[in-house]
Amino acid sequence: MSVQSAKRRITAVDIAKRKNGDPVVALTAYHAHTASILDEHVDFILVGDSLGMVMHGMESTVPVTLDMMIVQGLAVMRGSKRALVVVDMPFGSYEASKEQAFHSAARVMKETGAGAIKMEGGEHMAETVEFLVRRGIPVMGHIGLTPQAINTMGGFRVQGKSDENQAQTERDAKAISDAGAFAMVIEGTVEPLARKITEDIPTVTIGIGASPACDGQILVLEDMLGLNVWTPKFVQKFGSIREHIEEAVTGYADAVRDRSFPGPDHVYARKQK
């Protein structure tokens, strides 16, 4: 493989071809430095609107703005070279009309250079998804538990528990798949339903609190690293970064207070003539 081809970014088309293939690996990132760490290990990086909760301490993703997504999307693009970068469309930036969605999505792609956008919603958003795809914007869908809709869902509730909700979720998956989404996140959905959807549709499914049968998996980086105090049931902590940070900060604070830092190696001496 040539150096030039080795550096080619993964595209939405590449991800779409992974149906029933090797599992797609994905994580969220919001910064250039974390994106640079993830880049060689994941297939796509999601600049999620979860940044509202993770970075800004918001209670939900609803207050996140398009400008916030663009700033962090650009940071992730600067820090990555290989992985596909997907940017979330925040609440209020696409629901009003197909045209609003196109203008918002086009702005994201032009100002960040990202390779795709992600939109929440099922049947009611299918027409918009198709509208964007036909105009050259790769769309990743998002069904099941859709955090932007928690005010109508009554909170972060697992989806697919009732027959009615299961049937609706299946219709949502089919509609977004038929509309041309290259991939689809299935979040917070009972395992048998997420498995069935993955088997029934030709679109790549990315699970988060869904099923190991999905074509890929995604987690919020800070959850997976153990940086957050509380994490959802579906998260496995693969690190304990919070403990390491607390240990380092404690060590720093103690060193400042006992005046062992800064030491001779950390200050500048005057040049000798």
| Residues involved in catalysis | 187
- C-alpha dihedral sign at 15, 110, 65, 153: negative
Cα–Cα distance for residue pair 12/137, rounded to 1 Å: 10
**Counting every residue, how long is the chain?**
273
DSSP element (H, E) containing 184:
strand 183-187
Matching residue, tokens 């299918």: 126
Is 122:168 a contact under the CB 8 Å cutoff? Answer: yes
Q: State CA 26 to chain mean position distance.
A: 8
Please answer whether residues 62 and 91 qualify as being in contact, where contact means their C-beta atoms are separated by less than 8 angstroms: yes
How far apart, in whole angstroms, are the C-alpha atoms of residue 133 and residue 85? 17
Angstrom distance (rounded) from CA 10 to CA 22: 14
- Paired tokens of 177: 């798949």
> Could you give the dihedral angle defined by the CA atoms of residues 59, 50, 94 and 210, in that order, rounded to the nearest 10 degrees?
-110
Does the CA dihedral 88-89-95-98 come out positive or negative?
negative
Phi, psi of 147, deg, nearest 5: -55, -30
